[in-house]
Amino acid sequence: MKYLSIMILVLFSALSATDADAQSKKLQKATFGMGCFWCSEALFQRLEGVTSVRSGFEGGDVANPSYEEVCTGTTGHAEVIEVTYDPLKIKYDELLEVFWKSHDPTTLNRQGADVGTQYRSVVFYHSEEQKQIAEKYKKELNDTKAFGKPVVTAINKAAPFYVADSYHQDYFNKNGNQPYCRMVILPKLEKLEKVFKAKLKH
């Protein structure tokens, strides 16, 4: 009986550890810079498995920078989105696929009319696994000349993330009728719906 009790305790401990491990793996973070964060946020919000998206700044030298400071290009920050996602519903490499197909990763410090280091193409990785997946993916894009020109996306270790002011959050959903949203963001969303229809929330 004592032996049975010990076995039950050992089994229960193992199950608890597995359960804790599953919980720790449940939600993960991914951080991407791909130009204006208003556009990026609107795209990733629509993906199945993405639970939240926050717009902010990362990779600079100044603590708690303002949007105005980042816009000068002097703080070293990139406009980024911090994506919280469920890896059981969407994998990191699927997020990377959306990232690379939704902006031009061959232009250094530029996306369309937006010019400056704050608009650079960058992946901030949160684990060694994310780093390896991103580097492998980038190499494949360059080896196959997927974009015709070299991919210049930086792959950097995650740095302190500073969330942008509340009026930057959920921007497209709140300001969809503004000219910028209609002219710049809407075409990106239409492309997303064509290319990644199977990955979108229903």
Beta bridge partner(s), residue 79: 57
What is 35-70 written as a DSSP string?
S-HHHHHHHHTTBTTEEEEEEEEES-SSSS--HHHH
Active-site residue (options: 36, 39, 71, 181): 36
Q: Is 164 exposed, middle or buried (0-12, 13-18, 19+ CB in 10 A)?
A: buried
Consecutive H or E run containing 8 = helix 2-26
Q: CA angle, 113 as apex, 30 and 109 as ends, to 5°?
A: 50
> What CA–CA distance (Å, rounded) separates 94 from 80?
18
39 carries an active-site annotation: no
Residue 64 — φ and ψ, nearest 5°?
A: 50, 55
The residue type at 166: S
The size of the chain, in residues, is 202
> What CA–CA distance (Å, rounded) separates 7 from 15?
12
Catalytic residues: 36
